[in-house]
Amino acid sequence: MGKLTIPQEELMNSGHIGCLGCGGTLAMRYLLKALGKRTMITIPACCIAIMSGIYPRNFLKVPLLDVAFETTAASASGIRAALDAKGIDDVYVVGFGGDGGTADIGIQALSGTAERGDNIIYVMYDNEAYMNTGIQRSGATPFGAWTTTTPVGTTGDFKKRPKKNMVEIMVAHDIPYAATASVAYPEDFVKKVMKAKDMDGTKFFHVFSPCPTGWRYSPEMTIQIGVLAFQTTVFPMYEVENGVYRVTKKPAKRKPVADYLKLQGRFKHLDDETIKIIQKNVDRNWEMLLAKAEFTKKFAE
Amino acid sequence: MPMDVMTGNSAQAYGAKLARAEVVAAYPITPQTTVVEKLADLVASGEMKAQFIKVESEHSAMAACIAASATGARAYTATAAHGLALMHEMLIWAAGSRLPIVMGNINRAMAPPWSVWADYQDSIAERDTGWMQFYCQSSQEVLDTVIQAYKVAENHDVLIPAMVMEDAFYLSHTFEPVDVPPQKDVDDFLPPYDPPVKLDVDNPVGLCALVPPDHYMEFRFKIAKAMEDSRKVIQEVDEEWEKKFGRSHGGLVERYRMEDADAAIIAAGTMSSTARVAIDNMRDKGKKVGLARLRVFRPFPYEEIRQIAKEVDSIGVLDRSYTFGHGGAFYTETAGALYQAPERPHVKNYVIGIGGRDIPPKDIEGILEKVLTKEDGGEVEWFGLRTSGSREVN
Ligand SMILES: Cc1ncc(C[n+]2csc(CCOP(=O)(O)OP(=O)(O)O)c2C)c(N)n1
Ligand code: SF4
Ligand SMILES: [Mg+2]
């Protein structure tokens, strides 16, 4: 059986200014490997926007347009329209935003782009909070997490609502392809990008991107955390092609969520009762995902 | 040349079409909607070759125009009032990116209370965003100015975006005869957009990156310089237009019966047409009055205003908006320009026609009488308030 090899060409320069162990930078690196040189990318305010350091440095070898926080998708649509107007049809257009820029402030523009079906690739690298501004909660912050705006305090004021499910929201837009991926599994991510990149319409990737600074763990554990998120099914790996769900990678045996939570300072306040609630939610979501895969099978073309 | 009868809004759309805008991204709002509809028709019929992104908001409209322009396409949008206010962040972004986007803005009052009628608060509030601002008085001027604005904005000494204003309903929905120039003549006048830098996979660059204090100030200075340099370009482009198409719109300031005038009013937009009627009536009575029409408000034509100050002893500045705190913007800028002038005539501000309130010739005649007699009693007067007629505010 042929093995997928990740393209060797680096389209991201070394020497970026991200934190040690930053998951987000890996998401960018693998994405560009999968897409190649003929790619244009637009990045809103977020950690990745400042990876170049300061003007006139640039951390990417592809054209890059920094855009306002909430405009990633609309900007990608604008680039695509300009390329269409010029008759250029061999360039991938990417919007690359954080969870805050995607699930919160940029969701309107993204919804517009997806509804119109503009031919772009949207990547949400998810570090589960507003990291660039110093770890404030976002709509993608998970239940139970500490952030600087859910500071726990003496009243147990951690985040009390679950993470917004962006893949579901995007699937509801009837787009050709939406998938999760993780920087801990680059082959899976690259394979998905290669599969979807030439589909017509809006393609969406939700990339799990652990953040040592915001999640309060030691930088060398980024991949381990990603692996545990997968093994516990806190963050399952799946794709949705034209409404048909497929789990692309299943853990041999599911580990308890506590294994994942206990490595991160942002969950250290959680008592056993709360961890039980989290386990229950993760179980339920996993079963629902399997059921969706089973149920939608018959709609595969 | 074909004469057509069209509204100011159709003139916007035909201006964009004749300018061969390649990307249009727009969102409907009264009284701009017919611009969007007209453009949709022109694209759907194949008459206009453009990508029309039917965005979900004005904020996205400007974001898409910025990205399209950064990719080297000529971009156009139109909006009004709340749409313009929603774009505010992106207006600054467009100017900061040095992108020659042209946008129609149909001047409409801001809510609350809701109003859809003519008022300049929307565009005056965007004065400091780094956009050139043209205020038009006829459908013909709208069509011509959209094309001229691209030529000015795309000049490599300028490279800043431009707004082309028309008054809600007075212009946006009123039919007037318009001479539509042939496409090939417009093509001769306006060559394709040739950006000095753009997103290009064969020559990858990063645009709009983080800039520290030891560079940011120079970026801002360059916008200031471009805005200064645009004065000359606006003038030249209007002159070139006149040579080619036989009509000028006055460059930055259009003068009317200013020869031997003792007093003048400064006004913009459709009220200037009314002012001309009022001035003719006054002149018939032997009163030496004239009009300086602000066609361009950004950059502010301070030299032209100082010239007028040399010629008359009294100026009335008519503002269809108010900058809460002190005076209308046309007034405060005029007064500011005059402080450095060798001659400083009497100047007074008349706030008038707010929220589309009608401005009949007799009102302007009344103001001209006051200007002629240098009637004092305060700097700023709200003219024609229902409660007590006129009110001085300070
Ligand atoms: C309109 C606007 N509001 C707020 C900000 C401040 N801001 C910049 S980045 C950011 C958080 C980004 O969070 P996310 O998208 O999750 O990316 P991350 O920094 O976590 O990588 C915020 C709130 C902004 N730039 N623009
Ligand atoms: S805060 Fe997190 S996401 Fe941001 S650069 Fe550091 S590790 Fe990466
Ligand atoms: Mg984030």
The overall longest dimension of chain A from CA atoms, in Å, is 60
Which residue, A152, A88, A153, is CA-closest to A119?
Answer: A88
B 232-251 residues inside an 8 A Cβ radius of A: none
How many whole angstroms separate alpha carbon B162 and alpha carbon B252? 14
For ligand 1, is residue A127 a contact (CB within 6 Å)? Answer: yes
Three-state DSSP state, A271: coil
Domain membership flag for residue A37:
yes
Domain membership flag for residue A261:
yes
The ipTM (two decimal places) reads: 0.97
Domain membership flag for residue A272:
yes
Mutate to test the pocket of ligand 1, among A25, A69, A122 (most ligand atoms within 8 A of CB): A69
Domain membership flag for residue A3:
no
Domain membership flag for residue A9:
no
Domain membership flag for residue A16:
no
pLDDT (tens place) for every residue of chain B, 394 residues total = 578 999 999 999 999 999 999 999 999 999 999 999 999 999 999 999 999 999 999 999 999 999 999 999 999 999 999 999 999 999 999 999 999 999 999 999 999 999 999 999 999 999 999 999 999 999 999 999 999 999 999 999 999 999 999 999 999 999 999 999 999 999 999 999 999 999 999 999 999 999 999 999 999 999 999 999 999 999 999 999 999 999 999 999 999 999 999 999 999 999 999 999 999 999 999 999 999 999 999 999 999 999 999 999 999 999 999 999 999 999 999 999 999 998 899 999 999 999 999 999 999 999 999 999 998 778 999 999 987 555 666 5
The number of the ligand 2 atom at minimal distance from the alpha carbon of A17 is 5
How many whole angstroms separate alpha carbon A207 and alpha carbon A192? 11
Structural domains in chain B, CATH included, are: 3-245 (3.40.50.970), 253-393 (3.40.50.920)
**CB distance B10 to B34 below 8 Å:** yes
How many whole angstroms separate alpha carbon A65 and alpha carbon A98? 15
State how far residue A215 is from chain B, nearest Cα, in angstroms.
Answer: 26
Domain membership flag for residue A138:
yes
Residue B371 CB coordination number (10 Å): 26
Q: What is the CA(B222)–ligand 1 centre distance, in A?
A: 28
> Among B23, B206, B215, whose Cβ lies nearest the Cβ of A58?
B206
Nearest ligand to the C-alpha atom of residue A18? 2
Q: What range does the domain containing A157 cover?
A: 23-299
- Axis crossing angle, helix B58-70 with helix A72-86, rounded to the nearest 10: 50
State how far residue A75 is from chain B, nearest Cα, in angstroms.
Answer: 5
Domain membership flag for residue A10:
no
**CB distance B355 to B274 below 8 Å:** no
> How many folded domains does chain A comprise?
1
How many whole angstroms separate alpha carbon B124 and alpha carbon B105? 11
Q: The domain spanning residue A94 has which CATH number?
A: 3.40.50.970
Q: What is the CA(A130)–ligand 3 centre distance, in A?
A: 4
The conformational region for residue A50 under phi > 0 = left, psi -120 to 50 = alpha, else beta, is alpha
